[in-house]
Amino acid sequence: MKKILVIHGPNLQLLGQRAPSIYGTADLTAINRDLKAVAAKHKVRLDIVQSNHEGEIVDRIGKAKRTHDALLINPAAYTHTSVAIRDAIEAAGLLAVEVHLSNIYAREPFRHQSLIAPVCKGQVSGFGPTSYRLGLEAVATLLAPVHAAKARPSVRVRHRAA
């Protein structure tokens, strides 16, 4: 079973109370519950962490290189500042998808740049909790063809030999 590490960055533990007009009313528990349902549908395993500390996020990504197949990350405010998280994702070489609840390009100019996006496969921004769901759908879909490509030839070889 493919393993995906979900990382929620700083202040996302406050979802539901923090600026609901921007981030919505769903809290992190509800978002994680949704993600688990998507993961069950795709038969992938999720590990979910939230951290307010840049170094801890860097450490998690470094370890994920050996333990996980992909990353789904909302780097929150570190999106716009963290060369360290960007470098960690690049060094891990894992498939990564960046998500944001709000549309960062429709907000203050300092949020328009993501240092993380260039080392990710793609970004989903602006759909509230649906951004997470779509991001996980993308990760699971991108992981799946690898399974299929590996499985198909061995099935064919066995069939021919029989």
* Residues labelled catalytic: 23, 100
SS (H, E, C) 66-99: HHCCEEEEECHHHHHCCHHHHHHHHHHCCEEEEE
Whole-number Cα distances in Å, 12 to 40, 71, 148:
23, 17, 35
Of residues 102 through 121, those in contact with ligand DQA by CB under 6 A are 102, 104, 111
Q: Could you tell me what percentage of the chain is helix, strand and coil, using 3-state DSSP and rounding each to the nearest 5? A: 55, 15, 25
Query: Which residue's CB is nearer to ligand DQA, number 79 or number 95?
Result: 79
Query: Does 3 interact with ligand DQA (rule: CB under 6 A)?
Result: no
Among residues 35, 76, 88, 136, the one that binds ligand DQA under rule CB under 6 A: 76
Of residues 78 through 97, those in contact with ligand DQA by CB under 6 A are 79
Task: Give the binding site for ligand DQA (CB under 6 A).
Answer: 11, 74, 76-77, 79, 100-102, 104, 111
